[in-house]
Amino acid sequence: MRIVLIGPPGAGKGTQAAILSEELGIPHISTGDLFREHVTRRTPLGQEAKRYLDTGELVPDHVTGGMVRHRLQQSDTRRGFLLDGFPRTLTQARELAAMLDSTGAGLDAVVEFTAPEDIVMKRLLNRGRPDDTEDVIRHRQRVYERQTAPLLDHYADILLTVQAVGPIDEIAGRALRGLSGESVRNPRRAS
Ligand code: ADP
């Protein structure tokens, strides 16, 4: 399956992605993790990305798109993938569609994780990643509403919305049950 995960910062995409990746036997590709690896290894891409991560801005589309394209060319993605944190803008969604068109295989589902802002703020402040200060979190929330939330309409025909509050395995169960249902099958693939 080719799946995209969407949700505001702190909704638990990464946690759920790890479980779904295991259950579905497809690689978990997190753009946030890829960027952080580049930052740790001090690659040129990491040096460019760092200031965006630090302030909660999106890394420019051309940098992000190139990194994802490269990752999707690796052979472990042939049977599917779970994209966590990409696309985050309409431009990135179009870029992803173009990457997938060249392989002839579209997305099967977009899973949206939702959680109230006060709950996600608490989770993130507890996590304590360098970009998890209250100001930067608030900024990431605004960036999500402005730039990423419009993708929910864009993907309406394959969207599965999952309430991400409650025990972790129950949330994963909701997502897995939804993914096994007909409602999120991409009509383009059924034809
Ligand atoms: P969260 O979901 O908590 O915001 P992520 O690990 O997904 O955390 O992302 C952390 C940061 O990485 C973002 O604030 C942004 O700077 C950068 N980033 C991740 N994915 C993208 C993307 N698709 N486009 C641009 N920047 C991205």
| Mean pLDDT calculated for residue range 60-77 | 96
| Mean pLDDT calculated for residue range 144-172 | 97
- Tell me, what's the pLDDT at 184? 56
State the DSSP string of 76-140: GGTT-EEEES---SHHHHHHHHHHHHTTT----EEEEEE--HHHHHHHHHHH--TT-SHHHHHHH
Residue 165 is classified by DSSP as -
140, 9 Cβ separation under 8 angstroms? yes
| Mean pLDDT calculated for residue range 9-30 | 96
3-class SS of residue 30: strand
- Tell me, what's the pLDDT at 137? 96
User: pLDDT class for 150, splitting at 50, 70, 90?
Assistant: very high
Which of 74-88, 124-138, 170-184 has the lowest average pLDDT? 170-184
User: Positive or negative, the Cα torsion across 167, 130, 21, 72?
Assistant: positive
151, 93 Cβ separation under 8 angstroms? yes
Would you say the pTM of this structure is higher than 0.75?
Answer: yes
143 Cα nearest atom in ligand 1:
14
Dihedrals phi, psi of 68, to nearest 5 degrees:
-70, -40
13 Cα nearest atom in ligand 1:
2
Centre of ligand 1 from the C-alpha of residue 178, in Å = 25
- Tell me, what's the pLDDT at 186? 47
Centre of ligand 1 from the C-alpha of residue 32, in Å = 5
- Tell me, what's the pLDDT at 185? 53
Element housing 45 (H / E): helix 44-55
Dihedrals phi, psi of 6, to nearest 5 degrees:
-130, 145
| Mean pLDDT calculated for residue range 25-53 | 98
pLDDT surpassing 70 at residue 64: yes
Fold of 2-190: Rossmann fold (3.40.50)
